[in-house]
Amino acid sequence: MKIKSYFGVAFLLVSVLTFCFARTESASSQTPQQSNAQTMKCSGMNERGDQAMGFSHMKATHHFRLLRDGGAIKIEANNAQDTETRDE
């Protein structure tokens, strides 16, 4: 009886460890080419966003406020001396 109990616990432990190992392997299985492509894709998205907004989103903080009539977006320069971003 004890042997069956230990076998069940061991089987459960091995199953859980196998599942966890498989999950970490699949998460880290991105090739350098995939990672580089993702970085380039994000870079392009950031450039298009900056062009559309007229300022660098990395130099500003966006505050989204819900109001009764909808909402508002307030944008502040991260650096008070950054007049270019502030005045956009």
In angstroms, the CA 40 to CA 58 distance is 17
Rounded to an integer, the average pLDDT of 3-24 is 68
71 against 42, higher pLDDT:
71
Rounded to an integer, the average pLDDT of 29-58 is 76
Q: Around 70, how many Cα atoms within 13 Å sit in the side-chain half-sphere?
A: 2
pTM of the predicted protein model: 0.43
* 72-83 pLDDT per residue, tens: 988 888 888 887
In angstroms, the CA 79 to CA 70 distance is 29
Distant-in-sequence, close-in-space partners of 64: CB < 8 Å, separation ≥ 6:
71, 72, 73
Q: Which two tokens stand for residue 5?
A: 């109990």
Q: Is 62 helix (H, G, I), strand (E, B) or coil?
A: strand
